[in-house]
Structure 1
Amino acid sequence: MSSSTGKRNVSPSKDANGSAAKKGKQSLVTPLSTKAVNTVRVLCADMVQKANSGHPGAPMSLAPLAYLLWTQVMKYNPKDPQWLARDRFVLSNGHACALLYAMLHLTGYAQVTMDALKAFRQVDSITAGHPENTLIKGVEVSTGPLGQGISNAVGLAMAEMHLGAVFNKSGHAKIVDNYTYVICGDGCLQEGVSSEASSLAGHLGLGRLIVFYDDNQITIDGDTALSFTEDVAKRYEAYGWHVQTLEDVQDLDALLAATEAAKAETDRPSMIKIRTRIGFGSKKEGSHSVHGSPLGAEDLKQLKSRFGFDPEQAFVVPTEVAELFQAAGAKGAAAQAAWNTAMEAYKGAFPAEASELVRCTEHRLPEGWREKLPRYTPEDKAMATRKFSEIALNVLAPMLPELVGGSADLTPSTLTALACSGDFQKKTPDGRYVRFGVREHGMTALANGMFAYGALRPFVATFLNFIGYAWGAVRLSCLSHLGVIFVMTHDSIGLGEDGPTHQPVETLEQIRAMPNLHLLRPADGNEVSGAYISALEHPYTPSVLALSRQNLPNLEGTSAEKTLLGAYVLAEMGGSNGGGGAPELILTGSGSEVAIAVEAAKTLAETVRVRVVSFPSWELFDQQNKEYRLSVFPAGVPVVSVEASATHGWAKYSHAALGLTWFGASGPYAKVYAKYGLTADNLVSKAREVLAFYAGDRQVPSLIDVPFISKQLDHKPVATSHA
């Protein structure tokens, strides 16, 4: 792979060594540092060998860089892994996680014991096959799917820039003050999400983001020359990054000089491109054979002998090496103590700001915020739920400075602009509205990083159909317990003229199938307010708000508070004396189709007692007790559902489902609805068929009594402590 030879890309190795010699500085390359680096290599190889699974090559080659970061560069405190002012470290090539686990153990993170290292990749171990932020305090984000980590890191750096602009005050030590360091590999830079994120990082000038690119020229298939011959350095220069190239990862002095040069570049993110030899010290060094398999007993023995270790012993850390790393970790306690002193002075000078920062960090919501959300009556103007969302968002934003987000170049359509704030840009980092550009995947990965930083509740917006572009990052939002709020508009064939390329059909099913992902599809303004309440009160569960393009009436009986029950009785029609009595039929649906159900019920009520149930959230309804669920859907009463979506899953709640089995069509939305039978007249016809089917002695199955496993909303991750 070629590399740029521009001035910013010239290797600083010779200059760094020469400079060190001229100034009489002691070199970082000493017998002890060499032994420490080799200890990391052998420890990582032991972990993979014992597990008989994993990736030893990258950890072995990157050991010098890890040594430098944890002993000379990064600010962290193992005794308080979540200290706000710590530097953030992201291992984007998460398959190299043995390296991260080794460094956390060596520097004193109590959770990561030697027993935990020995349990690498085993069931119930915290040292999972790829890093998971919910298992270890010290793992900032869950990485593994390539490209996600570096993209999360851009979000982490954005959060630091924004919070620093808001909370740091002249005359006081910086309260928000850290760098974000990343190690990534070829695979991360081939995935498109990293390009989206890196492009925006350059635009925003994230000067506290420093990426080390492990250019080992190896992927699983073999040499990168098979498929990846672009000049990465020039690409990142074109993004607006500061780029340096190093030819030897073993040169700790050159590594440090390049890192210091990157830190001095305050207006641009930095990439340090480093040539490494994968599996350094192994007989398979430089080959893809050492990428994803243990070294093997014989190779591991020769590795240990080569580096001065007893080949018959495993998981050995020499005393002097242990003391070196423990001392490096202990430095963070003094740094945090100084920060604590500065924070106390800050609280005295700026008590309101300090209190707000603490509240946001703890994901506590201010008193009385719920009551300020709008409530509506049927006399209020019909509007699209995306418009009700705009109103709600702009009521919430002045109260909740942690709400920061934006749209994938669809602000006029998603209606997510914040009237109380300007844009987050390089020159205005205190702004809260992010122009993500046409980058749905990158947008979501960045939001994950922003949430992971702490003190922010990011929201992101696009058309519901295009959540598919972001799905890889959405999945990690859920797995990682990152409460991103997805404002997804144009939620059905109701968007009309744009046609089936834009009309979601299977999308609601995908969302409902994802663990720890909360879908809310509100029917009107009251339910939109309820959807925001639910999303904000579940900080560790991502929420998708599916919102209409077409105008919807405010319905009699809707309620923000009842929305939190997931499903509730909206209306009862027909029966003796015009009402009363148990229902003989239930119509239910979500979002824009609830109004269709109400209209159909008016016709059916001429001959049968009908109940209409609004069903904005399956997940919330599943959390209710059986008594409540049976009060909504009594045993023995046929249920017909209607939703402008595929129907799989509705069998859990209805005996018949009216929905979609194809991709939609172009045309005015009312005519598209009519084409696919999503009308009150067709619902009446289908409901009568169901009533006829269950006439006589045929028993109506009780839906609530049928056992099922509900999708849990995991409100707060718990970092386990066992190995």
Structure 2
Amino acid sequence: MTFQKVDIDDISINTIRVLAADVVNKANSGHPGKSSFELRLGAPMGLAPVAHILFTRFFNANPKHSEWFNRDRFVLSNGHGCALQYILLHLLGYKLSLDDLKQFRQLDSLTPGHPEHGHTDGIEVTTGPLGQGFSNAVGLAIAQAHLGAVYNKPGFDLITNHTYVFLGDGCLMEGVTSEAASLAGHLQLAPGLDISIDGDTAVAFTEIVEERFRAYNWHVLHVDDGDQDLQGIYNAIEKAKQVKDKPTIIRLRTIIGYGSKQQGTHGIHGSPLKPDDTEQMKAKFGFDPKGTFQVPEATYAFYADVAKRGVKSESEWEALLASYETKYPREHAELTRRIRGELPNGWEKTLPVYKPSDAATASRKLSEIVLTKISTVLPDLLGGSADLTGSNLTRVKEAEDFQPPSTKLGSYKGTYIRYGVREHGMGAIMNGLAAYGGIIPFGGTFLNFVSYAAGAVRLSALSGHQVLWIATHDSIGLGEDGPTHQPIETIAHLRAIPKLVVWRPADGNETSASYLVALNSKKTASVLCLSRQNLPNLEGSTIERASRGGYVLREVPAGTENLTIVSTGSEVSIAVEAANVLEKEGFKVRVASLPSWEVFDAQDTKYRLSVLRSGAPIVSFEALSTLGWANNLVWTFSVHRLLIKKSIKNTDSLLLVRAFPPYLQCMYVFNVTSPSPDVAELGKKIITFYKNKGGEVVSPLVKAI
């Protein structure tokens, strides 16, 4: 195809430019232009030409049905330039009015300061933290390659969409971008496209980014005049689409703030244009200098025709899908189920069920058993590990690796991704996989190294992406690796992230329950914190009970208890042993397991009070930091508390912390193994304190508000 320029191109590009100025000026904040070096493109004014060409000549989507599955995906990785994306969505006819543009960055508007998935029609992923959007796009491209390989048949190319990304120098400085770009190049992902501009960031960023991307196995193209060379922009995108064996990045040079008196300077970065500058710019581009939010009818008409192209494309796709059903009924049923986001009927029957007599097993191994069972009925799962497959136990034996067919290491049909040592990239890529649809991604690493991916984990939660983190080696119980690998504070951080569900299962049934809830929660990111050491299967645990997030594992008649011990994960069995010790001394002790605080907190008040009931003191027991337990409990016993205590009393204790021996000795050092004299002794002290104090003991769940 060749580029055919029409008069409306210039009018439409200038419409975008002046609208961008008005949108930002009205909000009195934002970025009408953005400074840049190699590969940067944040500015709505500077990016107007490339955005116009991309969306009017190439982009294939239906604004009237923004969730059409085979639509092209667009990601604005440098999300601070979101005024550009909002303007394009408005012109194309998405559910975004001119009044919505006028409410840019205002309370309850559909045009927030950075694009938010699930909030604004047409936004594929949440961007803002730089580099995340680029990495999400790698996930989107993996999803397209995988689903296309699985479901496309001769004469039935159902999954053929392209992924387009705008990013800037800030995105390229972030390490997560390097991780994702490196993996994308190895996987030979195409179609994929990234477009950028130049500027001056020489104080901190002087590398030759093009050479870096060539080393990553990317195809690199140039457009030297991104402000006016529409032919060059068109040719570069067209050429990029023809590259089938690697992703493409286009280096696009523009003048920052093109059309402003301050064009080409940093004066235009981060602040609205001055009134006189706005007026002269509008006059230069053929608009009324005093008018605001002006959109010529010809521009609306041109973009309406573009939208009709998308409607036609979806209609043709639906017809192809109907024919596909006739020839491939099984594949059609499976694909359409996945597109709807539904799980197969009865899938949960594959979850393993355990008895107390079953052998003690590490919960990381229990997780592997679950994955092995459910993978036979859930093709939706696409998982991997950040170079710890043998430790995380995330790869089932029958799995094929997701690899370029040319490598002979696997194929794009494969369901296991070798992420390499790229935890942050893995997290951001999983967000893209989830955003694409039809895929439930999971990724494994040590719990401690989820900290490397904290930015992506937070966006998983805020975006409502169904992502599963398989986080093994979850406490001091991992042993010899020492304090650098012992995440006593990591779970407290994860529990603090809004909308993130954290699981720490105590045995086989609780592990199955964590998968049951996580896989049924379509808008929830989950972290499964799993042990390296073996855990006994507990009397009283069931999948159904654990699925409520918390339940009473060891009960005594109501009103007779002296103490309730609440625990999670590997410490629950130790809490049960401590209760047995106290029982021999005449005390009545309940034990509650709380594998997921967030799921437990979502239960009704009556149920929660039945678990953490009034009448006796409640103590928590976890080989982690105490942070957070005060929300639900009175007393806490943890490694964190003992570290502080021992450090004060014994200067040699710090040496013990720094030179941990095998895990059983670690547990003995802190008295968090069975039998546990500290737990039992602490329990007796608490019982005695409340007995001497007298009066009613009220559950911490009973609050004024």
Query: For the superposition of Structure 1 and Structure 2, which TM-score range results when normalised by the shorter chain?
Result: over 0.9
Matches within 5 A, 1:160-559: 160-172=144-156, 174-212=157-195, 214-217=196-199, 223-249=200-226, 250-427=228-405, 428-559=411-542
The one of 63, 77, 81 equivalent to 2:48 is 63
* Partner SS, residue 397 of structure 2: coil
Q: Does 1:655 align with 2:634?
A: yes
Contact 2:559 2:615 in 1 (8 A): no
Once residues 388 and 205 of structure 1 are traced to their aligned partners in structure 2, the CA distance between those partners, rounded to angstroms, is 34
Once residues 358 and 237 of structure 2 are traced to their aligned partners in structure 1, the CA distance between those partners, rounded to angstroms, is 59
Indicate how the Cα distance of structure 1 residues 106 and 669 shifts in structure 2: closer, same or farther if over 3 A, else same. Answer: same
- Tell me the CA shift for residue 457 of structure 1: 0.3
Matched to 1:136, the amino acid is T
Once residues 480 and 683 of structure 1 are traced to their aligned partners in structure 2, the CA distance between those partners, rounded to angstroms, is 40
CA-atom RMSD in angstroms: 1.4
- Tell me the CA shift for residue 707 of structure 1: 4.9
- Tell me the CA shift for residue 699 of structure 1: 3.9
Contact 1:82 1:137 in 2 (8 A): no
Once residues 485 and 63 of structure 1 are traced to their aligned partners in structure 2, the CA distance between those partners, rounded to angstroms, is 38
1:702 alignment partner in structure 2: 699
Once residues 611 and 297 of structure 2 are traced to their aligned partners in structure 1, the CA distance between those partners, rounded to angstroms, is 66
Once residues 163 and 581 of structure 1 are traced to their aligned partners in structure 2, the CA distance between those partners, rounded to angstroms, is 57
- Tell me the CA shift for residue 702 of structure 1: 2.3
- Tell me the CA shift for residue 364 of structure 1: 1.2
Q: Does 1:115 align with 2:99?
A: yes
Once residues 328 and 171 of structure 1 are traced to their aligned partners in structure 2, the CA distance between those partners, rounded to angstroms, is 26
Runs of 4+ in 1 over 4 A off after TM superposition: 662-665
Once residues 361 and 272 of structure 1 are traced to their aligned partners in structure 2, the CA distance between those partners, rounded to angstroms, is 32
Q: Which moved more, 1:630-639 or 1:343-352?
A: 630-639
Matched to 2:145, the amino acid is M
Q: Which moved more, 1:156-165 or 1:673-682?
A: 673-682
Contact 1:556 1:570 in 2 (8 A): yes
Contact 2:132 2:177 in 1 (8 A): yes
Unmatched segments (≥5 aa) in structure 1:
1-19, 218-222, 574-578, 709-723
- Tell me the CA shift for residue 676 of structure 1: 2.3
Once residues 707 and 480 of structure 1 are traced to their aligned partners in structure 2, the CA distance between those partners, rounded to angstroms, is 32
Once residues 289 and 608 of structure 1 are traced to their aligned partners in structure 2, the CA distance between those partners, rounded to angstroms, is 73
1:83 alignment partner in structure 2: 68
Once residues 120 and 466 of structure 1 are traced to their aligned partners in structure 2, the CA distance between those partners, rounded to angstroms, is 37
Q: How many residues were matched structurally?
A: 671
Deviations 1:394-420 (A, max 9, x none): 111111101001000000000000223
Contact 2:385 2:444 in 1 (8 A): yes
Q: Does 1:638 align with 2:617?
A: yes
2:23 alignment partner in structure 1: 47
Indicate how the Cα distance of structure 1 residues 361 and 26 shifts in structure 2: closer, same or farther if over 3 A, else same. Answer: closer
- Tell me the CA shift for residue 652 of structure 1: 2.4
Once residues 698 and 501 of structure 1 are traced to their aligned partners in structure 2, the CA distance between those partners, rounded to angstroms, is 45
* Partner SS, residue 277 of structure 2: helix
1:625 alignment partner in structure 2: 604
- Tell me the CA shift for residue 216 of structure 1: 2.6
Once residues 293 and 325 of structure 1 are traced to their aligned partners in structure 2, the CA distance between those partners, rounded to angstroms, is 29
Once residues 84 and 78 of structure 2 are traced to their aligned partners in structure 1, the CA distance between those partners, rounded to angstroms, is 11
Contact 1:397 1:420 in 2 (8 A): no
Matched to 2:26, the amino acid is K
- RCO (CA 8 Å, sep 6+): is it higher in 1 or 2? 1
Contact 1:658 1:678 in 2 (8 A): no
1:670 alignment partner in structure 2: 664
* Partner SS, residue 691 of structure 2: coil
Once residues 687 and 465 of structure 2 are traced to their aligned partners in structure 1, the CA distance between those partners, rounded to angstroms, is 45
Deviations 1:419-468 (A, max 9, x none): 23210001100000000000000000000000100100000110001111
Once residues 84 and 3 of structure 2 are traced to their aligned partners in structure 1, the CA distance between those partners, rounded to angstroms, is 27
Indicate how the Cα distance of structure 1 residues 420 and 137 shifts in structure 2: closer, same or farther if over 3 A, else same. Answer: farther
Once residues 457 and 396 of structure 1 are traced to their aligned partners in structure 2, the CA distance between those partners, rounded to angstroms, is 12
Contact 1:278 1:287 in 2 (8 A): yes
Once residues 495 and 620 of structure 2 are traced to their aligned partners in structure 1, the CA distance between those partners, rounded to angstroms, is 16
- Tell me the CA shift for residue 308 of structure 1: 1.0
2:40 alignment partner in structure 1: none
Once residues 261 and 623 of structure 2 are traced to their aligned partners in structure 1, the CA distance between those partners, rounded to angstroms, is 60
Contact 2:3 2:234 in 1 (8 A): no
2:543 alignment partner in structure 1: 560
The one of 561, 573, 576 equivalent to 1:583 is 561
Deviations 1:5-48 (A, max 9, x none): xxxxxxxxxxxxxxx9xxxx6642x4321111010000011000
Q: Does 1:93 align with 2:78?
A: yes
Matched to 1:530, the amino acid is A
- Tell me the CA shift for residue 171 of structure 1: 2.8
* Partner SS, residue 467 of structure 1: helix
Once residues 323 and 121 of structure 2 are traced to their aligned partners in structure 1, the CA distance between those partners, rounded to angstroms, is 28
The one of 609, 615, 621 equivalent to 2:588 is 609
1:718 alignment partner in structure 2: none
2:37 alignment partner in structure 1: none
Matched to 2:606, the amino acid is E
Matched to 1:648, the amino acid is L
* Partner SS, residue 199 of structure 1: helix
* Partner SS, residue 405 of structure 1: strand
The one of 676, 680, 689 equivalent to 1:684 is 680
Once residues 190 and 346 of structure 2 are traced to their aligned partners in structure 1, the CA distance between those partners, rounded to angstroms, is 38
* Partner SS, residue 545 of structure 1: strand
Unmatched segments (≥5 aa) in structure 2:
34-42, 406-410, 644-653
Contact 1:572 1:609 in 2 (8 A): no
Indicate how the Cα distance of structure 1 residues 371 and 121 shifts in structure 2: closer, same or farther if over 3 A, else same. Answer: same
* Partner SS, residue 375 of structure 2: helix
Once residues 107 and 325 of structure 2 are traced to their aligned partners in structure 1, the CA distance between those partners, rounded to angstroms, is 45
Contact 1:91 1:184 in 2 (8 A): yes
Once residues 145 and 668 of structure 1 are traced to their aligned partners in structure 2, the CA distance between those partners, rounded to angstroms, is 39
Contact 1:180 1:209 in 2 (8 A): yes
* Partner SS, residue 224 of structure 1: coil
Matched to 1:693, the amino acid is F
* Partner SS, residue 226 of structure 1: coil
* Partner SS, residue 151 of structure 1: helix
Once residues 64 and 244 of structure 1 are traced to their aligned partners in structure 2, the CA distance between those partners, rounded to angstroms, is 17
Once residues 112 and 381 of structure 1 are traced to their aligned partners in structure 2, the CA distance between those partners, rounded to angstroms, is 58
- Tell me the CA shift for residue 581 of structure 1: 6.0
* Partner SS, residue 552 of structure 2: strand
Once residues 441 and 266 of structure 2 are traced to their aligned partners in structure 1, the CA distance between those partners, rounded to angstroms, is 39
* Partner SS, residue 225 of structure 1: coil
Matched to 1:490, the amino acid is H
Once residues 83 and 471 of structure 1 are traced to their aligned partners in structure 2, the CA distance between those partners, rounded to angstroms, is 31
Instruction: With the length of structure 2 as denominator, give the TM-score of the two structures.
Output: 0.93
Once residues 281 and 675 of structure 1 are traced to their aligned partners in structure 2, the CA distance between those partners, rounded to angstroms, is 69
Deviations 1:224-274 (A, max 9, x none): 111111111111000000101111112111111111111111001001110
Deviations 1:76-105 (A, max 9, x none): 111111111111111111111000000000
- Tell me the CA shift for residue 369 of structure 1: 1.4
Contact 1:398 1:420 in 2 (8 A): no
